[in-house]
Amino acid sequence: MEAGAFIVEGQRALSQIYNLHPESLQEILVDKEPARAWRDKATIRILTSSQFASISKNKTPQGIAGVITLPRDSHSSKLPQQYGERMLLLEDVQDPGNVGTLIRAAAAFNFDGVILSEGCADPFSPKAIQASAGSVLSLWIRRTTGYYKLGAKLKREGFRIIATDIYGNSKSIFNSGEKVVLILGNEAKGVSNKMLKIADTVFRIPFNCQSVESLNVAAAGAICMYLLSQQSFSR
């Protein structure tokens, strides 16, 4: 990250990023002669198989990777000029696989951006990138110590703050057209009391708690984002 870039591995993820942001592709790394389709896209560096394996985080390297420019302001408290109406706020979600999966779900359900606390796993780390399946540039990302202030600012601007908690209300209603920030918390501790206090709604997903104690944060987040995409939180 110090170089201002990250690596995306695999044809599918690389193609998705290139199709959305071709200007972000700095260099293509391959362990053999690249497919013709990539020859005019960017500078190509051919590596030996052992060199490629040393940069790959996959047990079975896919043989092609891209060096991608880190999005501007991704590690800051400065929101984009046009930041949209639906945001995901992650507080101390520590597993990079969960972070990547949540970013992927946010992109799938038309969220505009993701705010992460500094206690979250880096969304541009290899495992998070792999879990996001190339969707990491489909929306804006801010990883910052100022996440609480951003949440409070958005609340003042008329966004409805929805936090998830096992003691929340399972019958909350989401109204079409509302601007929303959805908060998900740490895998073990959940959303902090500080963030719960600024929430307009504390929501609990109804499930069979006799069979399972809780839902994985990535699964819970995907369910909540789906419900929001359907314009209702109701049972």
In the chain, how many H helices and how many E strands?
Answer: 7, 10
**pLDDT attached to residue 208:** 79
Whole-number Å distance between alpha carbons of 40 and 92 = 41
**pLDDT attached to residue 74:** 93
**pTM reported for the whole predicted model:** 0.89
147 or 228, greater pLDDT:
147
> CB burial class (10 A; 0-12, 13-18, 19+) of residue 223?
middle
Percent of the chain exceeding pLDDT 70 equals 93
**pLDDT attached to residue 110:** 93
pLDDT band at 11 (very low <50, low <70, confident <90, very high): confident
- pLDDT tens, position by position, 26-47: 999 988 776 677 878 888 898 8
Whole-number Å distance between alpha carbons of 169 and 48 = 56
pLDDT band at 235 (very low <50, low <70, confident <90, very high): very low
Whether the pLDDT of residue 84 is over 50: the answer is yes
Whether the pLDDT of residue 184 is over 70: the answer is yes
**pLDDT attached to residue 25:** 93
Fold of 86-229: Alpha/beta knot (3.40.1280)
3-state secondary structure 59-102: CCCCCEEEEEECCCCCCCCCCCCCCCCEEEEECCCCCHHHHHHH
Backbone angles phi, psi at 204, to 5 degrees: -120, 130
> CB burial class (10 A; 0-12, 13-18, 19+) of residue 85?
middle
181 or 214, greater pLDDT:
181
Only one residue has tokens 């969960």, namely 98
Domain boundaries in the chain?
5-69, 86-229
Range of weakest confidence among 1-5, 149-153, 161-165, 227-231: 1-5
213 or 108, greater pLDDT:
108
| 114 closest CA partner among 20, 188, 221, 10 | 221
- Amino acid letter, 11: Q
**pLDDT attached to residue 234:** 46
CATH assignment, 5-69: 3.30.1330.30
Question: Can you say how many angstroms the Cα of residue 96 is from the centroid of all Cα atoms in its chain?
Answer: 10
- Average pLDDT rounded to a whole number, residues 145-166: 95
